[in-house]
Amino acid sequence: MAKKRPVVVVTRKLPDAIETRMMELFDTRLNRDDRPLSQSELIEAAKTADVMVPTVTDRIDKTVLAQTGDRLRLIASFGTGVDHIDLATARQRGITVTNTPGVLTEDTADMTMALILAVPRRLAEGERLIRSGSWTGWGPTSMLGHRIWGKRLGIIGMGRIGSAVAKRARGFGLSVHYHNRRRVHEDLEAELEATYWESLDQMLAHMDIISTNCPHTPATYHLLSARRLKLLQPHCYIVNTSRGEVIDENALTRMLVAGEIAGAGLDVFEHEPAVNPKLIELDNVVLLPHMGSATIEGRVDMGEKVIINIKTFVDGHTPPDRVLETMF
């Protein structure tokens, strides 16, 4: 007798090739119009599923998990960050959680580098000038930004993405500094020519550009707090492609408005999709709609990982990208 196929609920529209393969392998319920599910719709979906495939836009919190019943066994998240899932409650309820690490590293590092270049060199401002029709031509002192080459970049979080940013940064003549929970292996440190700062506070006070590349966890919530942001030098730029919650967005906005730091490149926000309206008014800020890993290739690779995680799990094995609370 053929084995019953697991019910897999996918909360958002995924690339066609991934959805087709999922339909072939599992009893898959798709979200064709891609409208984010409300909390009650999420609960309803979770009650009927053996496997859920959520994304960063779904809050799989205690309330949702408390009402899932006994059916849900796997949350195969489409993405690397798992801060939208209550891992402790999932564990207590015997639900396995997986993510998609590795396949979005290079794309996210590219976007980080793009912001590191865009803000000091006033890329978005220049583009806006042309589109507004008010460009009157080249001038020796017009649109002057700041040089990247020779500056100090402080990376917060030297994991996969942080290291990929460091490699790119070396090519642009930046000297690489980093703060991490643990010092990385000396071989990697040597390869990246990176300087380790055990004290985040001290590193912040000495950098020209800061890039946040750590996950959002209880320990990194507002890691860049109002107090720490004040340690930055006024010519410093901040780039964030990790999670909005890592920076106190209100404090950052206040400092940008007051000219206490030079500028910011933000791909993520504390209350997405809401963006502090004061940020939108500023010229020295480049704002992107959480698109760090948004490449077609990356999304397909993420989908492949989701499929492999589900398939391995339903075949009775430990999925390759199982997430444990102890990892964070």
Q: Which residues are catalytic?
A: 243, 272, 290
Q: Does the footprint of ligand 8YV cover residue 56 (CB under 6 A)? A: yes
SS3 for 5?
coil
Burial class (CB in 10 A: 0-12, 13-18, 19+), 283: exposed
- Tokens standing for 316? 């009775």
Binding mask 119-138 for ligand 8YV (x = CB under 6 A): --------------------
Residue, CB closest to ligand 8YV: 79
* Cα of 302 vs its chain's centroid, Å: 14
Q: Report which secondary-structure segment, H or E, holds 164.
A: helix 160-171
* Cα of 259 vs its chain's centroid, Å: 26
Residue 177's φ and ψ, nearest 5 degrees, are -125, 155
Tell me which of 81, 120, 157, 159 binds ligand 8YV, using CB under 6 A.
81
> Smallest gap, in angstroms, from Cβ of residue 28 to ligand 8YV?
18
Span of 25-33, 77-85, 191-199, 247-255 interacting with ligand 8YV by CB under 6 A? 77-85
Q: Does the footprint of ligand 8YV cover residue 74 (CB under 6 A)? A: no
Span of 79-87, 117-125, 185-193, 253-261 interacting with ligand 8YV by CB under 6 A? 79-87
Q: Which residues contact 120 (CB under 8 A, 6 or more apart)?
A: 145, 146, 147, 148, 209, 237, 262, 263
> Smallest gap, in angstroms, from Cβ of residue 12 to ligand 8YV?
8
Q: Does the footprint of ligand 8YV cover residue 293 (CB under 6 A)? A: yes
- Tokens standing for 291? 């698109």
Tell me which of 53, 85, 95, 104 binds ligand 8YV, using CB under 6 A.
104
Q: Strand runs (DSSP E) across the chain, as ranges? A: 7-10, 27-29, 51-53, 74-76, 96-98, 152-156, 175-179, 194-196, 209-212, 237-240, 263-266, 285-287
Q: Does the footprint of ligand 8YV cover residue 55 (CB under 6 A)? A: yes
Residue 9's φ and ψ, nearest 5 degrees, are -100, 120
Nearer to ligand 8YV, 117 or 294 (CB): 294
* C-alpha distances out from residue 269 to 140, 158, 289, Å: 36, 21, 9
Among 235, 232, 212, residue whose Cα is nearest residue 165: 212
Q: Does the footprint of ligand 8YV cover residue 292 (CB under 6 A)? A: yes
Q: Does the footprint of ligand 8YV cover residue 113 (CB under 6 A)? A: no
CB 145 within 8 A of CB 284: no
> Smallest gap, in angstroms, from Cβ of residue 231 to ligand 8YV?
27
Q: Does the footprint of ligand 8YV cover residue 80 (CB under 6 A)? A: yes
Interface with ligand 8YV (CB under 6 A), residue total: 9
Nearer to ligand 8YV, 78 or 237 (CB): 78
Span of 75-83, 186-194, 270-278, 303-311 interacting with ligand 8YV by CB under 6 A? 75-83
> Smallest gap, in angstroms, from Cβ of residue 79 to ligand 8YV?
3
- Which parts of this chain interact with ligand 8YV (CB under 6 A)? 55-56, 78-81, 104, 292-293
